[in-house]
Amino acid sequence: MSITPEHPAALDRRTVLRRAAAVGVLATPAIGLLGACATSGSDGDNEQVAGGTKSEKNPLGVKEDAPIEVVIFNGGYGEKYATDVHEPLYKKAFPKSEVKHQATQAVSTVLQPRFASGNPPEFVNNSGEKFLDFGALVNDGQLQDLTELWDAPSVDDPSKKVRDTIIPGVVEQGMFSTADGQRKPFVLYYVSTVYGIWYSGKLFKDNGWTAPTNFDQFMALCEQIKAKGITPYGYAGANAAYYQWNVILTQAAKIGGADVLKNIDNLEDGAWKQDAVKQAAEAWAEIGAKYSDKSFEGLKHTDVQLRQNQGKVAFYPSGDWLENEQKKDTPAGFTYQLMPVPSLTASDKLPATAIRAAGGEGYFVSSKSKNPRGGMEYMRQMLSKAGARGFTETVGAATVVPAGSEGFQFPPGVASAQAALKAAGQDVFNMLFDNWYKELDTEARTATNELMFGRIKADAFVERIQKRADAIKKDSSVTKFKR
């Protein structure tokens, strides 16, 4: 998912491409070279291993000595949780099997040729800036239908199905429609992700400020913060504009209800021109004009996050991976705190506590790999109490398995996010269009920078994104999704 923090080390993968495109002329064969290995359409040697015997310990019928290959996106969460927790769990369950581990910061660069040549790895953590397009994968039948996994008995309590051990809505979130129109679960979203606006508990306590719940309070507080010589609000325009469209759309959902986002995801006509979206854009354009800093457009997310750690920025929008990502730069006592996006009007459809939360970090099993059952079993182990607990202990983030986080002492930021999630109750929503239609994500990012840094108004903002959404809707080469 593109909501995952991007890894700053973008250099290596760019270097690779730079070499390919070193001279303009070379760009043509670079694409062609890719094709040379891909369009030949070889089926590779993907003879699937026979199933093993199903048993209580092995409900998915995994062949016990068949190896599996695990590919992990080495980004915000690192790779340690896989090498130290999940892979040993699998090895323990199937001592005769061999687990091959690979970590990468550019999933698509590494895996695209493998899928094209018919030799994909069993288990993939499809995340980061360069994740493989889920739509294209689904369309091509590359993803394993996870129904069997969700219905299998869970590791800790065989009387409970796996699907009943995780947060509701997560299975649903990973469902995609196949080419023949059926909706099937293909993706496991593993990390519980809560979005909001972050501030330093210490800074606020020292100044006697409290987190605002409505926009008037928010603006008033921004004024006070500005008077102190601190930039009240900011996000990084250079590479993280989506952190800000997330805020604008969250605001829109609060004004007009969660259906506003459903319409956007479903590419409904005029979805971006809904009043709620326009109002939200207007409100945030004002924040951008009055309470932000023009130079932030030229900064990367790590720069702005660092400035917040240094006490130069008060509010910063992000997801709850932020605290872990900034661990090294956060001064002692900083105390990350999350506040939900403040409500705009008294007539907002959703309360001030409403929040965007979702399963983040997508994982899938390749249906055309040698040992897809092993891949599913690996997921089952991940979703066990030990697997979830180990992940939480390693990276400090909650998973979609509530039993894994029980009684765990989260760092203050994640704890505040979990508290906000609890306070939101049923008023939790999500959006998926950026995952489904990357072009729309790109357009929304560009338009957001234009809006927030004062080059266009809210009208033009919704107009231009709507135009792109319409174009995508008409484009027959793009697979459409519904929710």
What is the Cα–Cα distance from 7 to 186, expressed in whole angstroms? 25
Site size toward another protein, by CB under 8 A: 58
Tokens representing 98 are: 């061999």
Q: Which of 439, 454, 459, 482 binds another protein (CB under 8 A)?
A: 439
What 8-state DSSP symbol labels residue 364?
A: E
C-alpha span between 218 and 284 (Å, rounded) = 11
| Residues 66 and 374: beta-carbon distance below 8 Å | yes
**Of positions 66, 155, 221, 241, contacts another protein by CB under 8 A:** 241
Q: Could you give the CA distance from residue 274 to residue 264 in angstroms, rounded to a whole number? A: 9
Tokens of 326: 């900034």
Instruction: Provide DSSP, 336-355.
Output: EEEEPPPB-STT-SS-TT-E
CA angle 380, 386, 388 (to 5 degrees): 70
Question: What's the CA gap between 94 and 250, in Å, rounded?
Answer: 44
Which residues fall within 8 angstroms of residue 296, CB to CB, at 6 or more apart? 231, 234, 235, 236, 237, 304
- The amino acid sitting at 352 is A
Shorter beta-carbon distance to another protein: residue 84 or 441: 441
Residue 324 token pair: 């872990």
Out of 8, 30, 177, 224, the residue judged to bind another protein by CB under 8 A:
30
Contact between 445 and another protein by CB under 8 A: the answer reads yes
Positive/negative CA dihedral, 168, 440, 243, 452 = negative
The mark string for 292-331 relative to another protein (x by CB under 8 A, - otherwise) is -xxx-xxx--------------------------------
Q: Which of residues 131-160 bind another protein (CB under 8 A)?
A: 132-133, 136-137, 139-142
Q: What is the DSSP letter of 214?
A: B
Closest to another protein by CB, 131 or 215:
131
- Span from 127-135, 148-156, 325-333, 403-411 in contact with another protein (CB under 8 A): 127-135
Write the binding mask 77 to 116 for another protein: x where contact by CB under 8 A, - elsewhere: -------------------------------xx--x--xx
Query: Does 289 contact another protein by CB under 8 A?
Result: no
**Shortest approach of another protein to residue 132 CB, angstroms?**
8
Of the residues 80, 184, 273, 438, which one makes contact with another protein according to CB under 8 A: 438
Phi, psi of 166 (to 5 degrees): -115, 165
Q: How far apart are CA 396 and CA 389, in angstroms?
A: 10
Residue 455 lies near another protein (rule: CB under 8 A): yes
Annotate each residue in 464-483 with x if it binds another protein (CB under 8 A) or - if it does not, as one string: -------------x------
Per-residue interface string for the shown chain with another protein, residues 355-394, x marking contact by CB under 8 A: ----------------------------------------
Shorter beta-carbon distance to another protein: residue 46 or 109: 109
- The residue ranges that bind another protein (CB under 8 A) are 10-11, 14-15, 17-18, 21-25, 27-36, 38-39, 41, 108-109, 112, 115-116, 130, 132-133, 136-137, 139-142, 237-239, 241, 293-295, 297-299, 438-439, 442, 445-446, 449-450, 453, 455, 477
